[in-house]
Amino acid sequence: MQSDTGDDRDCIIEAAYRCLSEPHSGAIPVAAILARAGVSTRAFYRHFQSKDELFLAMLRRETDALAERLDRICAEARGGPVAQLEAWIDGMFALIADEQVRTNFTVIDTDEVRAAKGYREAREKAHSDRERSLVKILRRGRDDGTFPLAEPEPDAVAINAIVSRVMANQSFRDLERVDRSKACVLDFALRALGAGRAPMSPARSGSRY
């Protein structure tokens, strides 16, 4: 067994991902997670009050990292609001290109994790966190006239929902289809925002993440 150090928390989380991503029947017991992590029960309860709290920590780790990446896109993307909106959509679709991230998001969307107490509230906060960067982009576009019809808060919710729905039906192996889907989502959003269709750029016609 490992000593009860600050690294135990990460070991437990990684072990939970591995246990949940492998074929299994029924709920994963805490004992199985601890055996995979190589830590003691005492170590578990130093970091988590329950298995539900562990699952929420897993959810927050993935969604916080995504929100931070989208915030950076908002802050660093060059060009005007259209280019920034395109970069935000690319940042969302990039999730399905990273095998580990894709696996982790699949795990935190399983029935067992979704049944954790407080999951719905944590998921709603995660959606709000990822939308905050999009709200900023839409406000910029509204203020400079690029998106004359924009209502930043509700439009950010709608665009986020559309992106999530389209991504759920994508095969990460079909990169051409992914590119077409990104372009369709962008064009739909631009028309809804009153910006019309964006010209096809090299990034949109041949991006490979």
How much is the pLDDT for 138?
96
Contact 92, 78 (CB under 8 A): no
DSSP label at residue 95: G
Q: Is 206 a residue whose pLDDT tops 60? A: no
d(CA 189, CA 163): 10
The alpha carbon torsion through 68, 69, 75, 80 (nearest 10 deg) reads -140
Q: Residue 31 corresponds to which tokens in the numbers above?
A: 């004992």
Q: Residue 100 corresponds to which tokens in the numbers above?
A: 């580990």
Q: Residue 169 corresponds to which tokens in the numbers above?
A: 């039906």
Phi, psi of 116 (to 5 degrees): -65, 140
Q: Which domains does the chain have, with CATH numbers?
A: 1-48 (1.10.10), 62-206 (1.10.357.10)
Per-residue pLDDT reduced to its tens digit, 8-23: 999 999 999 999 999 8
Please state whether the predicted TM-score (pTM) of the whole model is above 0.95: no
- Assign 97 a pLDDT band (cuts: 50, 70, 90): confident
d(CA 34, CA 183): 44
Residue (of 176, 163, 153) closest to 95 by Cα position = 163
Per-residue pLDDT reduced to its tens digit, 167-191: 887 776 778 888 899 999 999 999 9
Q: Where are the alpha helices (DSSP H) in 145-201?
A: 152-168, 175-192
